[in-house]
Structure 1
Amino acid sequence: MSQTTRRLLAGATVRAAWGTLLVIAPRRVLTFAGTANPGSAVAVVRVLGARQLAQTAMTVLVANRTVAGCGALVDALHAGTGVILAAASPRWRRPAVADTLIAAAFAAIGWSSYRR
């Protein structure tokens, strides 16, 4: 197994744990991120968790540089939308910033795997 594959699979393990947490405990995640009344955001968080799990599955099934690069791009776009939400909505600023940092970390992991 190559170094790139090992790095991708390690990142996929972390991503799978994060996605699972988002799907099964969205209220706890939102409360921990500072949202007083999660309300309708619960469904959004579950959808984001499902996206993380889908990306994990793709990474595990096709662990190569192309998948790493595409995943990094998706994560970077996700981080960008978090920045926009944080700037536009004081109510959602804290969870948006937290989500942005996590998405940026996943983008960095994917990018470093792509570059090697």
Structure 2
Amino acid sequence: MNTLALARAAWGTALLTVPHRLLHRAGGPGADDDRAVAVARVLGARHLAQALVTGAFPRRTVLLAGAAGDAAHGASMLALARLDPARRRVALLDALVATGWGTATWCAARSDR
């Protein structure tokens, strides 16, 4: 498994195992927000799955599909930030993180020519 896939797996594991702590540090609506915790865990599972797939098949097309998924996630977080003032801060931070993952994955795909 490559470094990017390992880093993504670590991030996904953190989202799955300590979502309360991450949401609190991000200034989210609070660790007692069951919906935010559930969403963080689902997102963690997605990151783990993406890490496994891109780690096992680090082909350009697979990486580009992953980068597109990250871009879509980032866009959805921007929409959430606009629609939900209580979750704005954490949604904007998550959009930034998704942009980082997408950029790193896109760069990995570009280097796999």
TM-score by shorter chain over 0.5: yes
Report the number of matched residues: 109
Alpha-carbon shift at residue 39 of structure 1 (Å): 2.7
**Sequence identity of aligned pairs in percent?**
42
Query: Is 1:39 the counterpart of 2:34 in the alignment?
Result: yes
| TM-score, length-scaled by structure 2 | 0.90
User: Aligned pair 1:98/2:88, yes or no?
Assistant: no
Q: Which has the higher contact order (CA 8 A, sep 6+)?
A: 1
Task: Tell me how far apart the structure 2 counterparts of residues 44 and 73 of structure 1 sit (CA, whole Å).
Answer: 19
In 1, the alpha carbon distance for the partners of 2:101 and 2:6 equals: 11
TM-score (norm 1): 0.88
For structure 2, the residue ranges without an aligned partner over 5 or more in a row are: none
One-letter amino acid of the structure 2 residue matched with residue 94 of structure 1: R
RMSD, aligned CA: 1.3
| Residue segments in structure 1 that go unaligned for 5+ positions in a row | 1-7
**Counterpart Cα distance in 2 of 1:35 and 1:113:** 31
Amino acid at match of 1:39: D
Paired position in structure 1 for 2:77: 82
Q: Deviations over 1:56-86 (max 9, x none)?
A: 0001111111111001000000100011011
CA distance in 2, matches of 1:35, 1:110: 26
- Cα distance in 2 for partners of 1:103, 1:41 equals 16
Q: 1:53 aligns with which of 48, 51, 54?
A: 48
